[in-house]
Amino acid sequence: MANIIFENVAKKYGDTSIIKELNFEIKAHELMVLVGPSGCGKSTTLRMIAGLEDITHGELRIKDRIVNKVEPKDRDVAMVFQSYALYPHMTVGENIAFGLRIRKLNAEKINELVSEAAEVLGLTDLLDRKPKALSGGQRQRVALGRALVRKPSVFLFDEPLSNLDAELRVQMRAEIARLQKRLNTTAVYVTHDQVEAMTLGDRIAVMNKGEIMQVGAPLDLYEKPKNVFVAGFLGTPPMNLLNVRVEDNQIKNGVFSMAIPSAWQAALENFENKKLILGIRPEHITGANHGDSSGIYCKGQIEIVETLGHEVLIHVSMNEGKEKLVAKLPAHDIPKMGDNIKLELDVNAIHLFDAETEERIIN
Ligand SMILES: Nc1ncnc2c1ncn2[C@@H]1O[C@H](COP(=O)(O)OP(=O)(O)OP(=O)(O)O)[C@@H](O)[C@H]1O
Ligand SMILES: [Mg+2]
């Protein structure tokens, strides 16, 4: 049962606080993705688990054992990095076996572990090749093999696919997910790519500026982002975030106004005359051609049309450019740049955030 628990874990370099206070659990057997923008502290968090960084204060537990002072080699974790750094003069087999040789395992056991890993990774026919005769994906698989043979309780991945081209990345991502499920090993996977996070993680922890913003299943975070940061971070194109205010029992800005639905009355009670941020995803906006008048409608001018294939993204400028919206529409009946358009926002898909705290208000 290799779970990992962070309790008030903080990290400073000198006086600079890099990780504020981490409090969360990575459950045994799950694949947890740490995702966030560059510099937010993902690698630092992972390296603290590996024991490659000291913890300034707080407690880190792996398998219910406090590991703050435990050497990396005694933590039963294996890490795969972005640069796979294989030894060029060694064969694939020797590269995979290298860590085991250092640990002085006997030759028979090493052979057994290497063959097993090669089998799992589809490298059996390549064991005698040198790294220079491998493709990028095969090299990354060798790097995975080196971690695999150690049969660790926890796998740590730090952007392991970012050196690969887009197609290979998608393929290797699926392989890692399959491997992790098959081996049933706890895994922590760091990426700054939110699509990778959404597709790979059993759960995702979204980080920003050394703090965890939200932890949960990918769809839960997508559907119920806890704050403006998570709302804007997950999803391509990102959620539209519009400035609105509450006034006379309405939510309005220079473009539209809507009566506050009764289900939101209680939550918005204290927001009269206050500013809010209204979030709406591009897929929850439709062209408003019908005569129904009960929804939220916006008029604007189309600035950009991006054709995706079966869908188009249109960028609409409203209220003389003070507000912008991106909508994802079906590709039939494609509007043109410069056209005026009327759009409808799906009231049931609206997110509301307090403009001051940026926290979610309605559920
Ligand atoms: N040895 C160090 N001394 C001082 N500051 C450091 C050191 N190592 C990292 N940092 C800082 O800590 C912060 C977090 O770094 P970290 O490498 O964890 O970010 P990251 O989320 O992995 O980013 P990326 O996506 O770019 O890899 C950064 O602002 C970085 O500059
Ligand atoms: Mg990093």
How confident is the prediction along the chain (363 residues), in pLDDT tens digits per residue? 699 999 999 999 999 999 999 999 999 999 999 999 999 999 999 999 999 999 999 999 999 999 999 999 899 999 998 877 899 999 999 999 998 998 888 999 999 999 999 988 889 999 999 999 998 888 988 998 999 898 899 999 999 888 888 888 888 888 899 989 999 999 999 999 999 999 999 999 999 999 999 999 999 999 999 999 999 999 999 999 999 999 999 999 988 889 998 999 999 999 999 999 999 999 999 987 665 666 788 999 999 999 988 999 999 999 888 889 999 999 887 788 999 999 999 999 999 999 999 999 987
SS3 content of the chain, % helix, strand, coil (to 5): 30, 35, 35
> Which ligand 1 atom is the nearest neighbour of the CA of 45?
18
Which tokens sit at 136?
């990028």
Tell the residue nearest (CA) to atom 25 of ligand 1: 38
What is the best residue among 13, 47, 190 to mutate for testing ligand 1's pocket, by most ligand atoms within 8 Å of CB?
Answer: 13
* Structure tokens, 138: 């095969």
Strand partners, 5: 25, 61
Q: Which two tokens stand for residue 109?
A: 């056991």
123, 92 Cβ separation under 8 angstroms: yes
Which numbered ligand comes closest to the C-alpha of 18?
1
Q: What is the DSSP code (8-state) at residue 205?
A: E
Ligand 1 atom with minimal separation from the 44 CA:
18
Distance between CA atoms of residues 37 and 331, nearest Å: 32
Torsion region of 122: left, alpha or beta (phi above 0 gives left; psi -120 to 50 gives alpha): left
CB atoms closer than 10 angstroms to residue 95: 24
Which residue reads 């208000």 in tokens? 361
The residue count of the chain comes to 363
Domains and CATH numbers, the chain: 4-228 (3.40.50.300), 240-354 (2.40.50.140)
Q: Are strands 154-158 and 77-80 parallel, antiparallel or unpaired?
A: parallel
| SS3 at position 211 | strand
Contacts of 82 (CB under 8 A, 6+ apart): 158, 159, 160, 162, 163
**Going by CA atoms, what residue is nearest to atom 13 of ligand 1?**
39
List, edge to edge, every strand of the sheet that includes 240-247.
257-259, 250-252, 240-247, 275-280, 351-354
d(CA 230, CA 239): 10
Task: Please state, in angstroms and rounded to a whole number, the distance separating the CA atoms of residues 321 and 343.
Answer: 16
